[in-house]
C-alpha cells in the first residue's frame, strides 16, 4: 500500500480542541479500504511533534484509502490525548483500544464528492493527507501553522490519471 506514495506529498492538519473536528475529503474519490491501527493517545500539539520521534506512528490511527483522479489518496486520522473517539461515515464510531489491527473486508466501496464529510474526531486531533508524487501543486497560501477552513484550497491538480 505504500508504493504509490513513495516520493509523494503529504500535508498534516493539527486540530486543536477549539477547532472544527469534522474531516472532509479534499478530492472526489472512491473509498476502497480502511484500517484501524491501535496505539497510544499522546498529545499531538506542534511542540510535542518536535520532541517525540515517530509520534504519529505511536498513536491510534484509522487509515482510509481512496481511488481518485490523481491516483490513490490516503487520509490518516490520528487519535490524540482527549480524543474520546473517531467516527467515520462508513464505519460509525470506532471502538478504540483493541489489541489487533483490523481491516474491513465487508466495506462497501462508496464514491465521495470533494468536500463530503467522511469522519469526525469526538474532540481534536490530526489528519495527514498523503498523495502520489507527481500530480499536485500545493496552494501557495498553504503554509506552516496557518488555520485551514473547510472549503479552503489545498492544492491544484496538474495531471489526471487516465481512466
- For residue range 63-115, what is the model confidence (pLDDT) as tens digits? 899 999 888 999 999 888 777 678 888 878 877 766 555 666 666 788 999 99
pLDDT at residue 163, rounded to an integer: 46
Strands of the chain (E only): list them. 9-15, 22-24, 29-37, 61-68, 71-78, 86-88, 92-93, 102-103, 110-112, 117-121, 125-131, 136-138, 155-157
Cβ(132)–Cβ(72) below 8 Å: yes
- For residue range 26-51, what is the model confidence (pLDDT) as tens digits? 899 999 888 888 888 888 887 888 88
Indicate the pLDDT class of residue 1, thresholds 50, 70 and 90: low
pLDDT at residue 127 tops 80: no
Helix (H, G, I), strand (E, B) or coil at 83: coil
What is the reported pTM? 0.76
**148 exposed, middle or buried (CB, 10 Å; 0-12, 13-18, 19+)?**
middle
Amino acid at each position: 500500500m505504500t508504493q504509490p506514495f513513495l516520493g509523494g506529498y503529504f500535508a498534516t492538519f493539527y486540530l486543536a480542541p477549539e477547532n472544527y473536528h469534522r474531516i472532509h475529503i479534499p478530492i472526489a474519490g472512491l473509498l476502497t479500504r480502511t484500517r484501524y491501527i491501535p496505539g497510544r493517545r499522546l498529545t499531538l500539539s506542534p511542540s510535542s511533534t518536535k520532541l517525540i520521534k515517530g509520534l504519529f506512528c505511536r498513536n491510534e490511527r484509522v487509515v482510509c484509502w481512496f481511488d481518485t483522479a490523481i491516483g490513490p489518496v490516503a487520509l490518516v486520522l490520528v487519535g490524540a490525548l482527549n480524543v474520546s473517539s473517531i467516527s467515520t461515515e462508513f464505519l460509525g464510531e470506532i471502538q478504540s483500544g483493541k489489541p489487533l489491527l483490523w481491516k474491513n473486508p465487508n466495506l462497501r466501496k462508496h464514491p465521495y464528492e470533494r468536500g463530503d464529510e467522511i469522519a469526525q474526531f469526538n474532540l481534536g486531533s490530526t489528519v495527514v493527507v498523503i498523495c502520489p508524487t507527481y500530480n499536485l501543486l500545493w496552494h501557495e497560501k498553504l503554509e506552516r501553522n496557518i488555520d485551514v477552513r473547510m472549503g479552503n484550497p489545498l492544492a491544484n491538480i496538474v495531471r489526471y490519471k487516465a481512466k
